[in-house]
Structure 1
């Protein structure tokens, strides 16, 4: 998921922002004044989306837009000296960002309660097979599975293996 250890900070920032936004949206749901509740929920959704999409824009699209603007201004004989942003793109940043933002939307819509356990939230948002294979999974389909108990049954595995071979 992260090519360079420095990008772990980027991923952690996105994770913390969306995790906290879920908690804050759920807290806003408990405000008795409906108008105030809606205002706070929209504020937290906006903060989550703008910060995460800002990170995505900076790392993935800044140089493209900067170069396009320079070319456009050059047509009108205007020079643009905006610095370029040199970096190696973090692997899976778009998928990771959209997966995290889908959680924010799910909590906003009350499809799922905010996940209180940050470890389970991190597991959901960075679940490696999901990130690699896609598609973006709705939190209501996945988060509850982390609370289910499963016992290993050797005989069941042995029978399944024998059927497949």
Structure 2
């Protein structure tokens, strides 16, 4: 099973002591840090019209067991097949499972951030480029979320093994019960 902990480890300065300045500038604490916050990631999946795996809408929802009022949603959408994609961020609690089109969700584990830096992983995912993607007929909100998760790996918040596991879980859930 894939660990839900961040893969980032403390940087060591001279003499083997932790270099806290490097950690603060990177924004990613060690898993054992006393001043870190856990951010939980959940990918919600909704039925599309028609109900096929490539026409399902997904979004990523960030919460924190350490900060009960922390609720952030990031997703991309567009008005029609020719419209440009746009990133949408929602800054409050939403009960996504109550939506009439809700299908399922994937628990995508957690990442660790310094306290006060809770928006860093949210902003990394939200920064996934969407400009010009309307010309790529294969690109969609599913790929947006996956590229955002890959960016979290790139920035050291998680491992490639974690990404591969979450990508597989998402693929399984997208296809499960869909009309081909």
Fold shared per TM-score above 0.5: no
The answer to which structure has the higher strand fraction is 2
Q: Which has the larger radius of gyration?
A: 1
Q: Which has the higher helix share?
A: 1
TM-score (norm 1): 0.27
TM-score computed with the length of structure 2 as normaliser: 0.25
